[in-house]
């Protein structure tokens, strides 16, 4: 795909996300930006910086935050990939994997599969922006298309 098509795909993701109200964690809006997207790969990358309140006592990303962001961004991606078709969550699984420090810049790499199936599926990998092989948390998300 050319960069113009990917930029249009990225903008559609941003526009779709702005129409949703579930990007809040502990009553605060999570500040994250879609920095890239690929319509051919049905993927996107979101960037945010983890602050002290988003890190749990084990020094990992708080799994509630991981669940909130994975649900929000993978749902948005699935909606866009499937031309706005609504779906409900049937399964959301998250796992924090590694300790991080406050002010760590994170990339959430979301990938959708199973478009046009009754059970679309997506993954979210939370990685260090400075070292993408450093996976901080993961999530899997299965949805079901409403009739």
Residues 5-27 have pLDDT tens digits of 999 999 999 888 876 655 555 44
Q: How many CB atoms lie within 10 A of CB 19?
A: 8
Q: How confident is the model at residue 85 (pLDDT cuts 50, 70, 90)?
A: confident
Looking at every residue in the chain, the average pLDDT score rounds to: 87
Burial 75-101 (b: 16+ CB within 10 A, else e): bbbbbbbbeeeebeeeebebebeeebe
Percent of the chain with pLDDT over 90: 63
pLDDT of residue 21: 52
pLDDT at 68 over 50: yes
What value does the mean pLDDT take over residues 110-128?
A: 86
């Amino acid at each position: 795909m050319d960069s113009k098509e990917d930029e249009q795909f990225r903008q559609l993701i941003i526009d779709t996300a702005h129409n949703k109200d579930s990007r809040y964690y502990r009553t605060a809006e999570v500040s994250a930006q879609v920095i890239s997207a690929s319509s051919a790969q049905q993927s996107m990358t979101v960037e945010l910086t983890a602050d002290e309140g988003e890190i749990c006592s084990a020094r990992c990303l708080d799994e509630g935050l991981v669940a909130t962001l994975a649900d929000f961004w993978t749902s948005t991606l699935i909606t866009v990939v499937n031309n706005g078709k609504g779906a409900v969550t049937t399964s959301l699984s998250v796992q924090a994997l590694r300790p991080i420090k406050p002010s760590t810049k994170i990339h959430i790499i979301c990938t959708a599969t199973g478009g046009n199936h009754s059970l679309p599926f997506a993954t979210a990998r939370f990685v260090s922006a400075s070292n993408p092989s450093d996976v901080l948390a993961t999530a899997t998300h299965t949805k079901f298309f409403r009739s």
